[in-house]
A and B are shown apart, each in its own frame.
Chain A
Amino acid sequence: MSLLRTTPLNAFHRRHGGRMVDFAGWDMPVQYQSILEEHKAVRARCGLFDVSHMGEADVKGPEALQFLQRLVTNDCAKLFPGRVLYTVMCYPHGGVVDDLLVYMRGEGDYLLCINAGNIAKDIAWMQEQARGFNCTVTDRSDDYAQLAIQGPTAAALVQTLTKTNLAGIKYYHFAQGEVAGVKCIISRTGYTGEDGVELYCATADSVRLAEAVVAAGGPFGLELTGLGARDSLRLEAGFPLYGHEITDQITPITAGLGWVVKFDKGPFIGSDVLKAEKEKGFAKKIVFFKTGDRRIVRAGTPVLNPAGAVVGTVVSGTLSPMLNEAIGSALVEAAAAREPLAVDIRGTRLNLSLVKPPFVNLKKS
């Protein structure tokens, strides 16, 4: 018996040759043909990702906004119906519970999108924190499937399947509409650094929607794309992944996500600790690097200073299919980041060139 969870598209993936792996307890396609080719297809044309494993939660009630302002670090008061916000939520010690998207559907009516591996933990945390607020937190993860169509031709492809004017929905905005006759939340968001959409639909409708996207995809160069390409695309774009650049031991300040931490909105969970960290300076920081070499610098590799002492650890690493060299991120002592850093890969010392991501030029809408 398999203990892996499956998305409603599991049979779809197998029918289309997906190579299935265990991802955070989910049976998901890591690739269909080639991670490198799928990655390049998303940068050049477009790809279809099943991201139905992602979790969703409703936050509803008269005090939903007050609760969210307390829960997350970014300022939800800036939201209006149809607007999406990227944020993190922290523990009192400043470590990250999860990163998430907050969708405002209306007054006192929000939808959150959370990481697959964190669903149970996040729901329990949010319900506990919601005590005392006149609002409810409801796990909707089993009700929604989610498809991401990403790449420069993605919007044009989806436009052939919907009457909703996609050009009228700006980046980090969304609308409710029908795509291929399926009721969807059409969100101009993504995790690749490319233009595109993420479609949230009812679980039962997802295979029909995916098949319609595939059927319409030919003229737009659509490829089916797996989680392998999703990871290399997000790293090339410089986006954090929970469990890597952000964890319950890495604060958003350390992770370089200070832009989603808004102290002027009033106190929130972890705000005292994060404020002190920001003002006093932080002991460690996440840096992004490339090496000029094809050897992949994998998570867990020690980062060395010129004297050869360990001053940090690699947290993500892959080969950039666009740059054709290894790229990655590392958690290093902040003071050490001013010196040349290096890693030792099977006896070869490789110098890290620090890079402010994205690693490649991106043209988001």
Chain B
Amino acid sequence: MSNIPPDLKYAKSHEWLKVAADGTATVGITDYAQSSLGDITFVQLPKVGAALKAGEAFGVVESVKAASDVYAPVAGTVLEVNKALDTNPEKLNQAPHTDAWIMKLKLANPADAAGLLGAADYAKLVG
């Protein structure tokens, strides 16, 4: 069974979004995604300052099995990336919802997050 924290929002393409009160959000991939990919060996991070559209590929998560694009759940500008994943991509297998966040975004429109799935609906999707 996948771990699906109730306080996160989810995209159908298996990214999560955690919105902060200041209109920024943290983005990563879900436990279900890391488990499906298997051993993660490389993460291609986006550039700080990049303006992303909703649904736009912003990076690549690569495992022994395959390389997969990761998509911005909502539109925003990249504020920060998790440099630790450059040297320790396996952290994505260990702590996908916490330490192994991928990027922080300044949301183009904080209300967009409401269009994403809640934990219960995401659980149905991956069930």
The residue on A at minimum CB distance from B93 is A34
Contact with B along A271-313 (1 / 0, CB 8 A): 0000000000000000000000011101000000000000000
B89 within 8 Å of A (CB atoms): yes
Asked if A318 is an interface residue, CB under 8 A from chain B, the answer is yes
Interface string of B66-103 (1 = CB under 8 A from A): 01000000000000000000000110010000000000
Cβ-based interface call for A319 (8 A):
yes
CA distance A319 to B65 in the complex (A): 10
- Tell me whether A295 and B38 are in contact (CB under 8 A): no
| Cβ contacts under 8 Å, B62 to chain A | 294-296
B41 at interface by CB-CB < 8 Å: yes
Question: Which B residues, 37 to 66, have Cβ-Cβ distances below 8 Å to chain A?
Answer: 38-39, 41-42, 44, 60, 62, 64-65
Q: How far is it, in angstroms, between the C-alpha of A36 and the C-alpha of B44 when the chains are bound?
A: 20
Asked if B90 and A36 sit within 8 Å, CB to CB, the answer is yes
**Which listed residue, A36, A228, A294, touches B42 by the CB 8 Å rule?**
A294
With a CB–CB cut-off of 8 A, which chain A residues contact B41? 36, 294, 296, 319
Q: Which residues of A contact B38 (CB under 8 A)?
A: 19, 30-31, 34-35, 228
Considering the complex, give the chain B residue whose CB is closest to the CB of A295: B42
The answer to whether the Cβ of A69 comes within 8 Å of any Cβ in the partner chain is: no
Which residues of chain B come closer than 8 Å to A298, judged between CB atoms?
67
Complexed CA–CA distance, A35 and B63 (Å): 10
Q: How many residues of A contact B (CB 8 A)?
A: 15
Closest chain B residue, CB of each to CB of A324: B41
Identify which of A36, A232, A318, A346 contacts B60 (C-beta below 8 A): A346
The reply to whether A296 and B42 form a contact with Cβ atoms under 8 Å apart is: yes
| A232 and B64 within 8 A (CB) | yes
Taking a contact as CB atoms under 8 Å apart, the answer to whether A346 and B64 are in contact is no
B29, chain A: closest CB distance, angstroms: 17
A35 to B39 Cα, complex, angstroms: 7
- A residues at B contact (CB < 8 Å): 19, 30-31, 34-36, 228, 232, 294-296, 298, 318-319, 346
Binding site for A on B (CB under 8 A): 38-39, 41-42, 44, 60, 62, 64-65, 67, 89-90, 93
Q: List 21 A-B contacts (CB under 8 A).
A: A30-B38, A31-B38, A34-B39, A34-B93, A35-B39, A35-B64, A36-B39, A36-B41, A36-B64, A228-B38, A228-B64, A294-B42, A294-B89, A295-B42, A296-B42, A296-B62, A298-B67, A318-B64, A319-B41, A346-B44, A346-B60
